[in-house]
Structure 1
Amino acid sequence: MTEQERLQWDELPHQLTDWAETQLGARIINADSQKGGFSRGAALRVVGENGQRAFLKAVDAAVYGQTARLYLAEARHLQLLPVNVPVAHHLATFTECNWVGLLLADIEGRHPDFAADTEDLVKVFHAFDEVSAIDASHFDIEQLRPSLEGEVRLWSKISELLSNNSITDASYSHVKSSAVRRQLLRYVTQLEISAHRYAEYVDGFLIPNLDGEQIVHTDVRADNILVTDTQAVIVDWAWMCRGNAAVDSALIVVDAVCAGTSLSVPDMVRQSRLLSAQPPHFVDALIVSMAGFYLYAALQEGEVGTTSNLPLVRAQRAVALLDWVDLHREEIGLAV
C-alpha cells in the first residue's frame, strides 16, 4: 500500500490532534505515516516537542465504521493483557466528533523478514510462547473455534462453487496482475476433484485442535509484528480470541511460506515450543485451510476502508500456499 492511501496528520480533526498533544504533554512536531497493513485509517508515529513518542491510529467512524469498531476492540483487548507481554500497550482512546483514535506505545523496530532471517523467526515464536502463558479462561472475549471456523473451512464452499461452475475467468478480474490471475485460474481448473478432500483434511486435523484457554491473536502476519534488537513485539490486537495459542505460531509458518522461506515446515515447527507440542499435521492443515481462505477471499474486491492492494495480496498468498500444497501433498497425506 502507499502512504497516500492512509489518512495523514493534517487530515485529522483538530479535536483529535489537540487530544493527542495533551496526552503527550507537548505540541507534536513530527507525525510519520507508516506503511503496511490494509486499513485506510491514520497510522502515525508521533513525536512531541518534549521527546515523548507514541503510535497513533485514527479513523472517521462515520465513513469507516468497521475500522473504528476494530480500533475500539483492540483498545479493550490490550487493556486485558499484562504489562510484561511483548505487545504495543494501550495508552489512551479518543471517541469524539465521530472519530476514534488510539494512542499506543511506540515501538522502535522493523517488520520481520521470514524469507531470509531465521533469527527473526525464532524471536517471533518466542514472543508467542510468552503470550501463550497467559491464562485467558476468565477473559470476556470470543472463543476461537466459532470465531475462526468459517474462515478455515472455506474449502467446502469452494468445492460447491466449482461444482456449479461459479468460478470463471472473470471471477478474479479485479486482481491487478495478469500473471497472478493466470496462476490462480490454473489451480481453479485442477481443484474441482481435490477441494472436497482438502475440506475433509482441515476438518480432521485442524478443527478439533482449535479449542483452548490461551490468548490467540488470530491476525498474524509480518506487518503485525515489529522486531527489535532483543525481541519481537506483536501489534494490532483487534481480533483477539481465546483458544489454542499454537494457531498464532502456525500462522507465522503460513506467512513464512508466503514470503518464500527456504526453511521446511518441519524445520520451522522444531523452532517453536508451541508447535512442537501439537498433533501431527496440525500446521499442514492450517496451511491447507489458509490456501482455501485466500483463494476464496481473492474473489472479493475488497471491503470498505481497506486499501486497493488487498485483492492482489490475497491472490498472491493463495498462489504461494497452493504451490506449497501441490508440492507436499504426498508427504502430508493429501494425495488424491
Structure 2
Amino acid sequence: MSRLAWHDLPPSVRTGIEDLLGGPVVEAVSQPGGYSPGSADRVVTAAGRRAFVKAASPAVNLDTPRIHRREGEITARLPEAVPAPRLIGAVDDGEWIALVLDDVEGRHPATPWRSRELDATFDALRQIASVDLPGDVPVADAADLLDGDAAKWDAIDVDAVPPMPRGLDVWLRAHRDEVRDAAHRAAAGARGDRLIHYDTRADNLLLRPDGSVVLVDWPWAARGAGWFDALSLLINVRYFDAQADVEALIAGHAVFDGMPAAAASNVLAAFAGMFLSSSLLPDPPRMPTLRTFQRDQAVVTLDWLRERWEG
C-alpha cells in the first residue's frame, strides 16, 4: 500500500483541518495497515490536542472519496453507546475530503488472534447489537448488500478460476451451483434491525489499554442480524490461523446466540462470491496487495464452507 502522508495534502486542506482542531498541527504520524491509499495520520496540535485524520481525492483513488463521505455521514450519527471514534468534523472542497476523528489510544489486536482479545471483540460486537439503531443513521440493508454479493456468482466462470490450495478450485467446480444457490439465500437469513459494521477485521479494531474494543472505519455499516459481524470476524480469525476452531468459538460466545447454522453458511457463500469476484479484477491504482488479500479471503471462506457442508 502506498499511502499519502500529511505533507502530501494540499495546504488548503491542512489549513481546514487545523481550523477544526483549533490550532496548527505540529506532529503527524502515518498509520500503516488498511486498504486505502489515502492518508491516515495521528496528529497533534501545538496545544496538545490529538486527532486521527484520513483524507483522499479522486486523483488518489476514484472510490476512496466517496467511501470517506459515506463514512462521515454514518459516523456523525452513530449512537453514543456504539464503541466507535467520534467525528470532530470534515473538510470537503468537492475534490478532497478529509475526516477528522477522535484519536483512540489503542492498538490493533495481535494476529494470529489471542483468545482474550477475541473475547473482548465479541463482547464489543454484542454491545453494538444491543443498541437500538436510530432511523437517521444512513445505513444500507445487509440483505441488499448480500444480494449483490450473491449475484457475483452468476458472472464467475469457475472453470477459469486459478488453482487454489487444498483442491478448492476442483471442489468449487463440482459444487458451484450449490454455492451459488446458498449465496442467493443469504439475504433472507441475515435480515434484522441491528447495526452492523460489515467489515470486521483486525485492522478495523483498536484495543484500548483497559482491554475494551473500538471499531473504526464505518463506511459499510448496515442493518441486519445481530450475529452478522461476529460471523464475518471469524473469517479474519481463520485468515491468520487456518487451524482455528471457529465452530467451537461459535458455540462458546453469546454473540452467536440465535444464529441459524444454515443462515451462517449462506452468508459465507455470499461473501465467497464477493471475495472471489473482486480478486479476479485488475489491481486498482496504488493498491497492489488488495487482489491477493481478496483471493486469500475467498480461499478461507470457501474452505470453511466446505468443512461445514462436509461435516
Q: What TM-score do the two structures reach when normalised by structure 2?
A: 0.90
> What is the rounded CA distance, in whole Å, between the counterparts of 2:67 and 2:174 in structure 1?
38
- Structure 1 residues 102-140: Cα deviation after superposition (integer angstroms, max 9, x where no partner): 001111212223524011111111111111122226234
- What are the ranges of 5 or more consecutive residues in structure 2 without an aligned counterpart? none
Q: Within the alignment, does 1:142 sit opposite 2:140 as a pair?
A: yes
Q: Within the alignment, does 1:218 sit opposite 2:215 as a pair?
A: no
- What are the ranges of 5 or more consecutive residues in structure 1 without an aligned counterpart? 170-181, 332-336
Alignment of 1:272-311 (within 5 A): 272-304=253-285, 307-311=287-291
> After the TM superposition, which of the residue ranges 272-281 and 212-221 deviates more from structure 2?
272-281
Please report how far the alpha carbon of residue 153 of structure 1 lies from its aligned counterpart in structure 2 after TM superposition: 4.8
Counterpart secondary structure, 2:247: helix
The aligned counterpart of 2:65 is 68
> What is the rounded CA distance, in whole Å, between the counterparts of 1:111 and 1:63 in structure 2?
25
Please report how far the alpha carbon of residue 57 of structure 1 lies from its aligned counterpart in structure 2 after TM superposition: 0.6
Indicate which of 107, 124, 129 corresponds to 1:127: 124
Q: Is the Cα–Cα contact under 8 Å of residues 81 and 131 in structure 2 kept in the other structure? A: no
> Structure 2 counterpart of 1:213, which letter?
D
Counterpart secondary structure, 1:281: helix
Q: Within the alignment, does 1:227 sit opposite 2:207 as a pair?
A: yes
Q: Is the Cα–Cα contact under 8 Å of residues 114 and 261 in structure 1 kept in the other structure? A: no
Q: Is the Cα–Cα contact under 8 Å of residues 41 and 67 in structure 1 kept in the other structure? A: yes
Distance 1:266 1:190, change over 3 A: closer
Indicate which of 2, 5, 10 corresponds to 2:7: 10
The list of structure 1 runs, each at least 4 consecutive aligned residues, that deviate by more than 6 angstroms after superposition, is none
> Structure 2 counterpart of 1:149, which letter?
D
The aligned counterpart of 1:87 is 84
The aligned counterpart of 2:104 is 107
The aligned counterpart of 2:55 is 58
Distance 1:43 1:13, change over 3 A: same
Alignment of 1:173-322 (within 5 A): 182-183=163-164, 186-204=167-185, 206-229=186-209, 230-260=211-241, 262-304=243-285, 307-322=287-302
- Structure 1 residues 59-106: Cα deviation after superposition (integer angstroms, max 9, x where no partner): 124553421111111111011112232101111100126211000111
> What is the rounded CA distance, in whole Å, between the counterparts of 1:201 and 1:97 in structure 2?
41
> What is the rounded CA distance, in whole Å, between the counterparts of 1:243 and 1:327 in structure 2?
25
> What is the rounded CA distance, in whole Å, between the counterparts of 2:310 and 2:3 in structure 1?
44
Counterpart secondary structure, 2:43: strand
Q: Is the Cα–Cα contact under 8 Å of residues 249 and 272 in structure 1 kept in the other structure? A: no
> What is the rounded CA distance, in whole Å, between the counterparts of 2:224 and 2:304 in structure 1?
27
Q: Is the Cα–Cα contact under 8 Å of residues 116 and 261 in structure 1 kept in the other structure? A: no
Please report how far the alpha carbon of residue 318 of structure 1 lies from its aligned counterpart in structure 2 after TM superposition: 2.1
Q: Is the Cα–Cα contact under 8 Å of residues 31 and 44 in structure 1 kept in the other structure? A: yes
Distance 1:126 1:261, change over 3 A: farther
- Structure 1 residues 180-235: Cα deviation after superposition (integer angstroms, max 9, x where no partner): xx43695334422211112233344x332121111121122111111123211001
Please report how far the alpha carbon of residue 33 of structure 1 lies from its aligned counterpart in structure 2 after TM superposition: 0.8
> Structure 1 counterpart of 2:72, which letter?
A
Distance 1:209 1:195, change over 3 A: same
Counterpart secondary structure, 2:310: coil
> What is the rounded CA distance, in whole Å, between the counterparts of 2:144 and 2:187 in structure 1?
10
> What is the rounded CA distance, in whole Å, between the counterparts of 1:101 and 1:79 in structure 2?
14
Please report how far the alpha carbon of residue 25 of structure 1 lies from its aligned counterpart in structure 2 after TM superposition: 2.3
> What is the rounded CA distance, in whole Å, between the counterparts of 1:128 and 1:251 in structure 2?
11
Question: Number of residue pairs matched?
Answer: 309
Please report how far the alpha carbon of residue 323 of structure 1 lies from its aligned counterpart in structure 2 after TM superposition: 3.2
> Structure 2 counterpart of 1:329, which letter?
W
- Structure 1 residues 250-292: Cα deviation after superposition (integer angstroms, max 9, x where no partner): 1111111111164422221134323122112333333333333
Q: Is the Cα–Cα contact under 8 Å of residues 202 and 285 in structure 1 kept in the other structure? A: yes
User: How many percent identity over aligned positions?
Assistant: 27
> What is the rounded CA distance, in whole Å, between the counterparts of 1:83 and 1:168 in structure 2?
45
Q: Is the Cα–Cα contact under 8 Å of residues 145 and 207 in structure 1 kept in the other structure? A: yes
> What is the rounded CA distance, in whole Å, between the counterparts of 2:125 and 2:89 in structure 1?
25
- Structure 1 residues 41-64: Cα deviation after superposition (integer angstroms, max 9, x where no partner): 100110112211000011124553
Q: Is the Cα–Cα contact under 8 Å of residues 155 and 196 in structure 1 kept in the other structure? A: no
